[in-house]
A and B are shown apart, each in its own frame.
Chain A
Amino acid sequence: MSGISRRKLITTGVAAAAGVSGLAVAAKLAARYGLVPPDSGVLYGAGETLTYAAQRTLTRHSMAREFSRSEISKEPFANEVAPLGVEFQRLQQGSFADWRLVVDGMVARPSSFSLAEIKSLPRSSQITFVACEEGWSYIAEWIGTPLSHILDRAGALPQVRYVVYRSIQPDWWESIDMSDALHPQTLVTYGMNGGELPVGFGGPLRLRVPRQLGYKSVKYVTRLTAADNLKQFGKGLGSASPEGGYAWYAGI
């Protein structure tokens, strides 16, 4: 102890106390401003929380890059999904005329949209890339309606903080915060590269979240649920991804 002076000890003590209380205040503030992801408590949740908090602070309103028509990939690629069930095949045989998108949860008017109804909503398109967490990517034109329109139609309540969305594939569900849900590039898509959205790429209905990696763009979407917290869904980690070991937020 001879090498450590009293002054140094006091300085260190004060600095440590300031650091700890600073961290506590930061954690409180982060939670209040929605900067803590639902999977912040998992093993490596600290890094994930830093990433999410930093991006929501600095890039909340950023737009995903858009490309020109000539940059659309001539050879797009889609990962195979688990075999689509009997229900999907039945709907496919009817050209998806009976496909429904249910909107429920914290909305004034719980609703159910047919594909035709969604196609009659204000149309939006974008040329953005799908980047898979594996490392590959492609650029395509995506045609649909902004998710915010559908939330408006159903009358999402002001206290809604997340939108949970589900695929017809039972184990595939995700959620996004309002920064992404109300983002103008977040689309409920039914078209790709000028035509129908092929089944391999998520047709008839895929939620596109271009500011995040591909796995957040769930294919075959059947249900949207507005919620003020994510504790009540699954294991409470926000989506199926953290339950399978992957991060909830994929904006990195």
Chain B
Amino acid sequence: MGAISPTADSVARRTSASAPGAAVCAQRHSALVRVTHWLIALSFLALLVTGVEILLSHPRFYWGETGNVNMRPLFKLPVPSSRDMVPTGYKYVLPDENGWSRYLHFEAAWVAVLTAFAYLLFGVFRGHFRRNLFPAAADLAPKRLASTIVNHLRFRRPAEEEAWSYNVVQRLTYLLVVFVLFPLIIWTGLALSPTVEGAFPAAVEILGGRQSARTLHFFATILLVLFVLIHIFMVSRAGFRKRVGAMITGRVPKSEEKA
């Protein structure tokens, strides 16, 4: 279990681990964070691609329990559909790819959920959330918070020591993704399962009905995609190869020179 020992932010460990002459210094990301990060990344990609495929068979959204082409939608996407029964305004129908998309969507969902579960246990019991994600009270003071946000918005390249820890904006964003968006997308997805909603009707009724759950599933996807885009952009601002390398090997090059 040594590989997942929580060394990430321990300054003492970091300095002691930086052996003279070593090209890299101590761990930035624990093995479990790295493995779960890439598993989630992979399954999210699969979920996104297959989710879009499934969506194309009915690119209309409703609010409430029911919705179909005889009913007025809440909104519809200006895209063609893979079914000829859906009025889209396009003269052609896309190929139907729902079969494998659905199989893969649910398989990837299992990978994502099981991975998230392992990450959650690790986060709670090995102190990852407490140490790396929960912001310090001082950082939440309006002035500090504002200055961090402004720095973020100016896309200021982060200082070297920032490679060792998440700043308050990162922490709050990751907390939002881990504890709000991820649970929401799992919940709204499960609410679309006829069997699950029979077993737990309240899970659908709280959301306003099955079609509402579908619409919220879509919105949660949009927010997660936004997060991923900004995440990749920020990583590339901070030094794409170095940061991605750290998430693969767990280590950060000692100097801030080109990795």
Contacts and interface: CB of A to CB of B under 8 A. Distances in A.
Interface of A: 5, 8, 11, 42-48, 50-51, 55, 58-59, 62-65, 67, 71, 73, 75-77, 79-80, 129, 131-139, 210-213, 244-247, 250-252
A250 B98 CA distance: 13
B102 A64 contact: no
Interface string B194-222: 11111101001000001100100000000
8 contacts: A67-B65, A75-B68, A76-B68, A132-B58, A135-B57, A135-B60, A252-B106, A252-B196
B194 A252 contact: yes
B66 A48 contact: no
Contacts of B120: none
Interface stretch (B107-115, B133-141, B235-243): B107-115
B210 A251 contact: no
Contacts of A246: 98-99, 102
A64 B1 contact: no
A213 B60 CA distance: 18
Interface residues of B, number: 42
B103 interface: yes
A47 B46 CA distance: 13
A137 B198 contact: no
B55 interface: yes
Contacts of B106: 44, 47-48, 51, 247, 252
A134 B96 CA distance: 10
A236 B83 CA distance: 28
Contacts of A48: 103, 106-107
B100 interface: yes
Contacts of A45: 103
Given A138-B66, A246-B99, A246-B102, A11 B1 contact: yes
